[in-house]
Each structure stands twice: as C-alpha cells, then as structure tokens.
Structure 1
C-alpha cells in the first residue's frame, strides 16, 4: 500500500539554498516536493493551481515578503500550513508570522535531522519554533508576567475581560490562534481581534 506523502512547496530566493533544501526534503519518505519558487509572488501564483500541505518560506524575498505572501496563501488556501525558514531572529518577524497564522518559525542554522522533525510536527498539527527563538519568547513572557504582577500593573491586568484573560493565558501556554479558537469555541479571526 502506497503511503500518502505531505506535499511541500519551497519558497526562497537563494537558488543554491533552495535547490539544496529541495534535494534534502526529497530524500525523506514522508514528504514530496511539489514545487520550488524564488519569490513570494511566485508562491502565491503556484498555490492558485496546486495546493501544498506545507509551504516552507523565507521571509526576505523580492516582491512580496514571505510574511505578506504567507498571509495571502493562508487566506486563499486555509488548510495550508505555513513554516517560515529564515535567518531572521527578529522578534517582530516571529510575532508577525504567528499572528498571520504560521505554524512554524525555524532559523536556517537548523540541522537536516531537526528540520525533518520540525516538518513532521507541523504536518501532524503541532507548532514548531527554533529553540533559540523559543528561549527569547519565554524570556519576554517572563518579563511580562513579572511586570503585570507588580501592583502598579495589576490594575491593567484586572481590567482585561475574562475572555481576554483566557486568551492571554492560552497564548502564554504556547497555543496558536487556531488552537485557542477551538478551545474557547470562537473563530480564529475573533482570537486575532481580541
């Protein structure tokens, strides 16, 4: 019996990197490369005719950035899982990627073995993030928890609605907007608005 493979689109403007990544992923039994493109605009055009399971995309590319293209692809093909594979460790990029619906944020210094595990996690509905980025995020959340536990900020936290507190608690636990929506029985769009 033939095993179904997860279909992957790779989007990166560096030809050698894209070709090497394509060759690496093509060796894995559980993934099939259905395309590789060099820009965000090309990724959008590709997804209009072929729908991958996972889009593995760089952030900095000519034309539309990976973040802009990813946002458009997720709106156009809601089942697609977006994974940013980038050199950018900038927390603004990380938070924007997850706000826009990314399921993963991986730095390009990842090993092939780790990337394989990351993509399997995403394919099976989990969120993945490079450990160095996760450490930075946890540190920032720790700072926020400390800040809001101080008497002068306690009032700010207490002014949040019960729903806002629930969402904040689930964000701190590491859930995605989609997972929060499912747990609270609200839409992902409502989670983003709150």
Structure 2
C-alpha cells in the first residue's frame, strides 16, 4: 500500500473505546497481502488479530466462532464476496463491525457495501501506517471512507436530492413508536447512543434496543440508511 491522503472520518455513532485489546479478523483472498496486514496490526499492543480468512464463506464461519470486534474484508473474493458475507456475519456476530479494504472504486460496490452494513470503505492505496488508526476508529463506532469514495457518495446524495420532486410524507413511518421516532430524529443528526440517551434521559442500552427496532421496522441494514430515510421523510429539519 502506498501513502495517500488519510481516509475521511465520520463522527462517532456508538460507545467508548474498549479497555481490552481489540479483536480483529482479516479477510482477503491474496495470502501475501493478508499476511502484510496481519503483520502491521500485530505490532500494536492494543490490537489482537484473532483470525484470518481467504474467502467470504470462511469469514462467516470464523466470525461466528471468534466474535471479533472489527473485520477488515476485501470486496471481491472467490465463492462469496465481502458484500455477500456482510449480512451473514451481522446475523451471527451482531457486535462485529466490518470495513471494506479493496481495489474497487466502483460506486455500486461502495453503495452495496454500505447497504450490507459496512462501517467503512477504504482503498488498498491507503498508507499502511494508517491501518491501526482505522481499526481503532471503526471499533469506537465511527465510520471511515476513502476521501475519493466519500466524494462520490456525497455527489450521489446530491443527485438524488435533485431528482426528488416531492418529499416522502411522514405517513411513511407509521410503524415507529413515538419514542422510536424521537431516537430516529436524533440518530439522523449524527448523535451517538450516549448523546441520544442523554437527550432523552434513557440509558445507552435502551437506545441500542430502539435503534435495533428502527432498523428492523424500516428494513434497512445500518444507521446511515436509517438516517437517509429520516431525512428524505422530512423527520429532520
């Protein structure tokens, strides 16, 4: 990996930094590249690489067994891609966060990865020295996007806004309870669980339960998708 501009960091959406070493799994079908990532991460005292995988199917199996905190995963792999593996991993290791580290600059891969629940999308051109910082960032609930991919994402949202001739009415969210609606509004303002709990005078655990229910009811896979839903439905001014 060659030095490039640092990945764009998005503000926190989850809890505090873990006090124990972070449990990391690295998934890439290129063994030499994978071992390079493992070597860099193993040099960090607060990071413990607990597993590796060379394809999406093995990644799903090991994620269930190892319950890692963060999974670094390639998009294009044999048998099962990283994007296909993402939802399966979330089903058996719901607390694990995963970030795509890939050669693909495709907008469709970026959008599909985010829909699959990825909390980051980075290109393999990034500086190898940035990798431990990225892992810590993802583990604390922030998202990381390569700066060029972040630009594409913003451009796509801008285009969607132009095409939107009439906003969705609030009646598109009748299935949410009043409390879930309040949580969604604050989530869409980029508040993390602690901030939402403080604003509504409820615990972080209660906020997590509400967020889980919101994602299920809206049939979306991530907080980002839920936030976009809320903005388009005019639940955020």
Instruction: Report the TM-score when normalising by structure 2.
Output: 0.66
5+ residue gaps, structure 2: 1-18, 175-180, 197-206, 221-228, 230-237
Q: Provide the residue aligned with 2:98 in structure 1.
A: 82
Q: Measure, in 1, the Cα distance between the counterparts of 2:74 and 2:61.
A: 16
5+ residue gaps, structure 1: none
Aligned partner of residue 95 in structure 1, secondary structure: helix
Q: Provide the residue aligned with 1:130 in structure 2.
A: 146
Q: Provide the residue aligned with 1:146 in structure 2.
A: 162
Q: Measure, in 1, the Cα distance between the counterparts of 2:191 and 2:126.
A: 23
Give deviations 1:10-34, integer Å, cap 9, x for gaps.
0100011001111011112221111
Q: Provide the residue aligned with 1:53 in structure 2.
A: 69
Structure 1's 135 and 9: CA in aligned 2 closer, same or farther, altered over 3 A? Answer: same
Q: Measure, in 2, the Cα distance between the counterparts of 1:169 and 1:47.
A: 31
* 1:191 equivalenced with 2:218 (yes/no): yes
Tell me: higher relative CO, structure 1 or 2? Use CA pairs within 8 A at least 6 residues apart. Answer: 2
Q: 1:120 aligns with which of 136, 143, 152?
A: 136
Give deviations 1:110-147, integer Å, cap 9, x for gaps.
11233222211111011111111001111121222233
Answer whether contact 1:99 1:192 (CA < 8 A) is retained.
Answer: no
Answer whether contact 2:41 2:131 (CA < 8 A) is retained.
Answer: no
Give the number of equivalent residue pairs: 181
Higher normalized helix content (fraction of residues):
1
Q: CA RMSD, aligned part only?
A: 3.0
Instruction: Report the TM-score when normalising by structure 1.
Output: 0.80
